[in-house]
Structure 1
Amino acid sequence: MTSPAFDVESFLGQSLTARIATYGPTVRPVWFLWEDGAFWVLTGPWAKLFDHVRSNPRVALVVDVCDIETGLVRQVIARGEAELVPFDVPRGRRKLIRYLGADESRWDARFVHYLYDDPAERGTTWLRLVPDALTAQDLSYSVTG
């Protein structure tokens, strides 16, 4: 990867929604955690994403922003083979806090159960993508007027 004009680590540390594409093609929005050089996406047997990755692990993922008022346009595109790995609660908590805030009492119940139910019983799994290719671009423009 060539060095973009912005801090990719800080960009991926924001509470942004990514879109992940699987073979088919199928594209879906996901919350993610960028940690240890990998994208981490919560999934399980209840989700089509889980089945798609089990049948063909090649995926592409994009995280981007486009603000027409300020001209800020940035994107990170990752490609590679995803793997389904066991869910761990500490990482799950970090991911959910990132999107929902630290006060778990304010979270919708559908998110709380990921931290307190038995992941093996529910089938909660991580989709982990260590990118084979990662492209970051700053396509920002000046707004006049």
Structure 2
Amino acid sequence: MKRTWKATRRGSAFGPLTGAPFDVPAFLARPLVARLATDGPVVRPVWYLWEDESFWVFTGSWSRLPDRLARNPAFELVVDVCDPGTGLTRQVVASGRGRTVAFDTARARRKLVRYLGPDESRWDARFALSESTAASGALWARFDPDVLRVADLSFTPSAIEPGTVVAHD
């Protein structure tokens, strides 16, 4: 089985992400945390939405991310899972250019449903959406990868009992 794979954007699209060691769109549709690195370097954990072959992250006037992207739009982002109990280890690493764009409430709702569930009445008040959200300074940071590196580094776990803490020097 192929364990690593690389896709390069051709023009405005990657096209079908076939040939990867696992279903990349399904993996990126999961509510995982990505780590985003921008100018500095500055690394931050982010909730994201993979849509239109781009990663979408909330930002706005409260953040330095818009200024960082204006100065230098280069980014790297990794979405990964590692479960030592099962050995499942997968990653998608994206690199390209980012920019800020106008806030879109419908896109924001799609993103938040992934992480918070479909019942908005149960969401923490900090995530309340309205048409005035953009007026509060909210923006989208859109990260358009030029390259996606995909790896399945899964392994057969050892016979260590689940829940055992292994000390390292």
Settle same-fold status: TM greater than 0.5.
Answer: yes
User: Does the Cα contact within 8 Å between 2:28 and 2:50 map onto a contact in 1?
Assistant: yes
> Is the aligned partner of 1:92 residue 2:92?
no
- Residue identity over aligned pairs, in percent, reads 55
Q: Where does 1:21-60 land on structure 2 (aligned, <5 Å)?
A: 21-60=37-76
Deviation readout 1:22-67 (Å, 9 max, x if unpaired): 1101000000000111100011010122221122111110000010
> Is the aligned partner of 1:139 residue 2:121?
no
Q: Where does 1:1-145 land on structure 2 (aligned, <5 Å)?
A: 1=6, 3-112=19-128, 115-116=129-130, 118-145=132-159
* Higher helix content, 1 or 2: 1
Following superposition, the deviation at residue 117 of structure 1 comes to 5.0
Q: Distance in 1 between matches of 2:134 and 2:25?
A: 31
Q: Which amino acid aligns with 2:83?
A: D
The SS at the match of 1:75 is: strand
Larger Rg: 2
Count of aligned positions: 143
TM-score, scaled relative to structure 1: 0.94
Q: Which amino acid aligns with 1:100?
A: L
Q: Distance in 1 between matches of 2:150 and 2:41?
A: 23
Structural RMSD (CA): 1.2
TM-score, scaled relative to structure 2: 0.81
